[in-house]
Structure 1
Amino acid sequence: MSEAGTDEASGALAGTTKSSGSAMRGSLIAAAGILIVAFTLRTAVTSVPPLTAEISRELFLPTWLVGILGMLPTALFGIAGLVTPAFMRRWSVEALAIACMVAAGVGQAVRAVAPSTWLFLAGSAIALAGMGAGNVVLPPMVKKYFPKRIGLMTALYVTVISLGTTVPPLLAVPVADAAGWRVSVGSWALLNIVAILPWLGAWVGRGAPSSSSSAGATTAPGPPRAVVRPWRSPAAWALALLFGCTSLNTYALFAWLPAIAAGAGLSAGEAGLQLAIFSGLGLPISLVVPLLAGRLRNPFAVVAFGVACFVGGYLGLWLAPGTATTLWSTLAGLGPATFPLALVLINLRTRSHRASGAVSGFAQGVGYTVACTGPLLAGILHDATGGWAASFAFLGVTLVILAVAGWVICRPRYIDDDPGVLAPARFQGDATPPVG
Structure 2
Amino acid sequence: MNRTSRVDTPIFPRAARSAALSWHDGLWLAVIVAIGINLRPLLTSVSPLLATIRAATDLSFSGASLLTSLPVVAMGFGALGAGLLTRVVGEARGVALGLLAIAAACAARFAASSGAALLMTALLAGIGVAVIQALLPGVMKQRFHSRVPLAMGLFSASIMGGGGLGASVSPCVAKAFDSWRAGLAIWAIPAMLAGVCWLVLQRSMLADQRVASPAAAHARHTSHVAMWRKRRAWTLGLYFGLVNGGYTTLVAWLPAYYQQRGASVAHSGSLLAAMTVFQAASAMLLPLAAALFRDRRPWLVAGLSAQLTGVVGLLAWPDAAPLAWVAITGAGLGGTFSLTLVTSLDHADDHRVAGRLVAFVQGVGFIVAAISPIVAGRLRDLTGSFTAAWTMLAVCIAAMIALTFAFSPRSYARWLGAR
Shorter-chain TM range is 0.7 to 0.9
Query: Cα–Cα, structure 1 residues 253 and 417, in superposed 2: closer, same or farther, change >3 Å?
Result: closer
1:27-176 equivalent positions in 2, closer than 5 A: 27-176=25-174
The answer to whether the Cα contact below 8 Å between 1:94 and 1:202 also exists between their aligned partners in 2 is no
Q: Does 1:389 align with 2:384?
A: no
In the alignment, residue 106 of structure 1 is paired with which amino acid? A
Equivalence for 2:199: 200
Equivalence for 2:371: 373
- Deviations 1:117-171, CA, capped at 9 Å, x for gaps: 2122112211121012111122111011111211111111111112211112211
Equivalence for 2:240: 243
Equivalence for 1:209: 205
The answer to whether the Cα contact below 8 Å between 1:144 and 1:217 also exists between their aligned partners in 2 is no
Tell me the CA shift for residue 315 of structure 1: 2.4
Query: Cα–Cα, structure 1 residues 153 and 177, in superposed 2: closer, same or farther, change >3 Å?
Result: same
Secondary structure of 1:409's partner? coil
Query: Cα–Cα, structure 1 residues 330 and 31, in superposed 2: closer, same or farther, change >3 Å?
Result: closer
Partners of 1:416 and 1:385 lie apart in 2 by 45
Tell me the CA shift for residue 225 of structure 1: 4.6
Partners of 1:217 and 1:146 lie apart in 2 by 16
Partners of 2:387 and 2:93 lie apart in 1 by 48
Equivalence for 1:184: 183
Partners of 1:269 and 1:40 lie apart in 2 by 25
Q: Which moved more, 1:391-400 or 1:120-129?
A: 391-400
In the alignment, residue 205 of structure 2 is paired with which amino acid? P
The answer to whether the Cα contact below 8 Å between 1:47 and 1:172 also exists between their aligned partners in 2 is yes
The answer to whether the Cα contact below 8 Å between 2:282 and 2:332 also exists between their aligned partners in 1 is no
1:227-376 equivalent positions in 2, closer than 5 A: 227-336=224-333, 337-376=335-374
In the alignment, residue 283 of structure 2 is paired with which amino acid? S
- Deviations 1:86-122, CA, capped at 9 Å, x for gaps: 2112332111111111111111122221233212211
5+ residue gaps, structure 1: 1-22, 422-436
In the alignment, residue 283 of structure 1 is paired with which amino acid? A
Partners of 2:113 and 2:211 lie apart in 1 by 45
Tell me the CA shift for residue 42 of structure 1: 1.3
Partners of 2:32 and 2:66 lie apart in 1 by 30
In the alignment, residue 184 of structure 1 is paired with which amino acid? G
Q: Which moved more, 1:295-304 or 1:48-57?
A: 48-57
Partners of 1:110 and 1:191 lie apart in 2 by 15
Tell me the CA shift for residue 202 of structure 1: 5.6
Tell me the CA shift for residue 294 of structure 1: 2.1
Tell me the CA shift for residue 402 of structure 1: 1.6
The answer to whether the Cα contact below 8 Å between 2:308 and 2:398 also exists between their aligned partners in 1 is no
The higher radius of gyration belongs to 1
Partners of 2:131 and 2:150 lie apart in 1 by 22
Secondary structure of 2:405's partner? helix
The answer to whether the Cα contact below 8 Å between 1:38 and 1:138 also exists between their aligned partners in 2 is no
Partners of 1:326 and 1:202 lie apart in 2 by 41
Tell me the CA shift for residue 72 of structure 1: 1.4
Query: Cα–Cα, structure 1 residues 415 and 123, in superposed 2: closer, same or farther, change >3 Å?
Result: farther
In the alignment, residue 406 of structure 2 is paired with which amino acid? V
Tell me the CA shift for residue 209 of structure 1: 2.9
The answer to whether the Cα contact below 8 Å between 1:88 and 1:357 also exists between their aligned partners in 2 is no
Partners of 1:397 and 1:407 lie apart in 2 by 17
In the alignment, residue 397 of structure 1 is paired with which amino acid? V
Partners of 1:396 and 1:76 lie apart in 2 by 27
Partners of 2:84 and 2:279 lie apart in 1 by 31
Partners of 1:258 and 1:58 lie apart in 2 by 24
Partners of 1:255 and 1:133 lie apart in 2 by 24
- TM-score (structure 2 length as normaliser): 0.86
Query: Cα–Cα, structure 1 residues 26 and 99, in superposed 2: closer, same or farther, change >3 Å?
Result: same
Query: Cα–Cα, structure 1 residues 61 and 416, in superposed 2: closer, same or farther, change >3 Å?
Result: farther
Partners of 1:62 and 1:188 lie apart in 2 by 25
Partners of 1:303 and 1:27 lie apart in 2 by 27
Query: Cα–Cα, structure 1 residues 374 and 386, in superposed 2: closer, same or farther, change >3 Å?
Result: same
Partners of 1:327 and 1:27 lie apart in 2 by 36
The answer to whether the Cα contact below 8 Å between 2:76 and 2:367 also exists between their aligned partners in 1 is yes
In the alignment, residue 208 of structure 1 is paired with which amino acid? S
Partners of 1:315 and 1:183 lie apart in 2 by 40
The answer to whether the Cα contact below 8 Å between 2:161 and 2:276 also exists between their aligned partners in 1 is no
5+ residue gaps, structure 2: 1-20
Secondary structure of 1:393's partner? helix
The answer to whether the Cα contact below 8 Å between 2:149 and 2:339 also exists between their aligned partners in 1 is no
Secondary structure of 2:385's partner? coil
Of all paired residues, the percent bearing the same amino acid is: 27
The answer to whether the Cα contact below 8 Å between 1:60 and 1:117 also exists between their aligned partners in 2 is yes
Partners of 1:33 and 1:416 lie apart in 2 by 34
Secondary structure of 1:228's partner? coil
- RMSD of Structure 2 on Structure 1 (CA): 2.5
In the alignment, residue 46 of structure 1 is paired with which amino acid? T
Partners of 1:362 and 1:36 lie apart in 2 by 24
The answer to whether the Cα contact below 8 Å between 2:232 and 2:415 also exists between their aligned partners in 1 is no
